[in-house]
Amino acid sequence: MFKDHTKRMTIAEYTEFAGRVLPNSADTSKPPFALPQATAGLFALGRLKTGEMNKTEAKYDQHLWRRFHAGEILWHKFEAIKLRLADNTFYTCDFAVLAADCTLELHEVKGYWQDDARVKIKVAASLYPFRFIAVKARAQKHGGGYEVERF
């Protein structure tokens, strides 16, 4: 019988103790379940590398270039500023934009909002003296363009 309680049982000791043989160990190389077909394409495949734009950000970048050529803004850059909010917590704005009146605006571009992103931009707006602007893409069937929210 198993006498030393500081060590793990061997298979032989377990068989003697339990009176039955251990089942074959499960295959851990594959997940124990698969996603249902209805949700298969709904989740992102991962984050983009730093400095890479998603489709919504690339479209907004084109919008900023049109504003630049119209003289509405003087400069813009993607992921140019990273702000510290707390220990190990940072906020990186999508676009730093220098408006024609020389105010620095930090633009956040979203297809949809998640709670943690909204909290981060509100905290950043309370800590730093920049103009924070959130831009949400509007569906084409609703006229396209962007919905703008200022913090």
Strands 82-86 and 89-92: antiparallel
12 lies in a domain? no
**Residue 105 C-alpha from the chain's centroid:** 21
Report yes or no: 89 and 116 within 8 Å, Cβ to Cβ.
no
Residue 90 maps to a domain: yes
Mean of the per-residue pLDDT values of the chain: 83
Rounded average pLDDT over 125-148:
93
* pTM of the full structure: 0.68
- Residue at 78 is within a domain: yes
Q: Which runs of E-coded beta strand occur in 71-118?
A: 73-78, 82-86, 89-92, 95-99, 104-110
Residue 95 lies in a domain: yes
Dist CA 113 CA 136 (whole Å): 8
List alpha helices for the chain, DSSP H. 11-18, 55-69, 115-127
Strand partners, 92: 82
- The domain that holds 92 is classified in CATH as 3.40.1350
Check residue 113 and give its pLDDT: 85
- Whether the pLDDT of residue 12 is over 80: the answer is no
Give the side-chain half-sphere CA count within 13 A for 29: 1
Residue 91 structural domain: 55-150
**Residue 24 confidence (pLDDT):** 59
Question: What is residue 30's predicted lDDT score, i.e. its pLDDT?
Answer: 54
Neighbours of 104 (CB within 10 A): 14
pLDDT in tens, 26-77: 554 555 545 555 555 555 556 678 788 999 999 999 999 999 999 999 999 9
Give tens-digit pLDDT for 119-132. 999 999 999 999 99
Residue 149's pLDDT band (cuts 50, 70, 90): very high
Contact by Cβ (8 Å): 17, 9: yes
Query: Of residues 116 and 40, which shows the higher confidence score?
Result: 116
Say if 114 falls within a structural domain: yes
The verdict on residue 141 lying in a domain is yes
Longest dimension (CA), the chain: 85
Structural domains counted in the chain: 1
